[in-house]
Structure 1
Amino acid sequence: MGSLSTAASSGARLTLELWHPNCWTLEVTMGAPGGLLAHTVYNATDGRVKGHFTVYGSSIDEIESLIEETRASPLTESVVVMQRRTGYTDPGSLLGYATRELFVEYDPVNTISDALASRGFIQDGPVRVSDGIEHWSVFVSDTDRERLHERLDKVAETQDAEITVTKITTRTNASTSEPVRLSLLSPRQREVFELACEHGYYSWPREVTTRELAEKAGISKTTLLEHLRKSEAKLLGPAIERMSTRG
């Protein structure tokens, strides 16, 4: 893990347009006037995907319709409309839309975020979903464009996805290339989290056991899980905190 600081010193940001089958966000937004912002999505230890989303539209009726479509989708397991938190800057006020925040749980077999993460592409900002297309901003610690396209081709092949790169920006300064969400983690939490991504811990099915990952990190299994859970809580942010208070 000594190469972490070197990897963080250079990298690339990519903007992607993406479609993949059996995705509830794509299905509910297809032809809909509104859309979704996926803030944070991750595989939890209970085997389900947990995600914090903002649903937006030009009217209350539009967003209520999207929420009902989300609840009715056979691809979602749980949909909770969250209360606005004090001091929260509503993304809708910036976009000029009415909004609601959602906490959604669903099956990881129908996600593509793990496939991207397992190839080193880390979500770097909210994913916008509109008219059946996902718009991703991702960070990767590689600047070779040929290798980047090869890695994305592998994701597309394994997920039966369609991926279009609309922009690539390379950076060499760690302070400007570091993903905003990863900057929330302590150096040790980030090191363990990136090791987990590298070895497929967040893939489905997992490519490494907790014990094997702890051995690679040189720490106990208990310490490893503590680092990962704290990292996941920071990455998911206020959404998971509000859900925990709901029991």
Structure 2
Amino acid sequence: MQTYSTDGYVMLSDALPVHKLLPFANVDGIGNRTSIFVQGCDIRCRYCHNPETIMPYTHSQLRSITSILEEIEQYRPYIRGITVSGGEATLYPQALIRLFSALHTMNLTCYIDTNGFFNLERTKELIEHTDKFLFDVKSLNMQNSLCATDRKNNMENLDYLLKLNKVEEVRTVFLKDIMDAESVVAAVSQRIAPHTDVQYKMIRCHLRGISSEYIPSLKGHIPSKADMQNYKQQAEALGVKNIILIY
């Protein structure tokens, strides 16, 4: 049975709900990393490419922190660290603090891939134990229709992490018309341009892996390659130099 705090955070300390663990990945942060996908997300993006991780976890998905550490120990000679994705990793702060504390004694770095809408006060201790964040910026003003959330604290959270030098990468998945693409590029670029080590990954939405219920409403909104080049040029004009464009 899931136990929640009053604001929806899951009170687990000795176990983590794991949907999948990939021993080796090179797209979830710099270097070869072990990726852990947690089960459960607090938003529902229409273009989610891991829709199977959205629903709340089941008891069978709980893995003890000890068992996770034992598995990662097998990969330690071949990895730089681990990245926890999902789902939304920040829903499980106490479990991740315990996991990250142990992994740091193994000289492994600990990253989190987040949707950016976390409660900052609930997450501050976890942030202290996290080396870097991969930070998704979904929208500034259209997140309700795009991701079924009315929260608008994502840029405030990004500012906080940037001040702490905790951001390795900002990611945006682009759609036309049903997201405020140009506003997102402007807001992100103005923030990360002074941080030359922060990478901006600009991703053209694709339909592979998306829940079938959303595909019809997205088909007419996939940006062209020319659109993506325009977004990139907009970011460059605002001073961002470290850009990866993914078609």
Larger helix proportion, structure 1 or 2? 1
Larger strand proportion, structure 1 or 2? 1
TM-score (norm 2): 0.28
TM-score (norm 1): 0.28
Larger relative contact order (Cα-Cα within 8 Å, sequence gap ≥ 6): 1
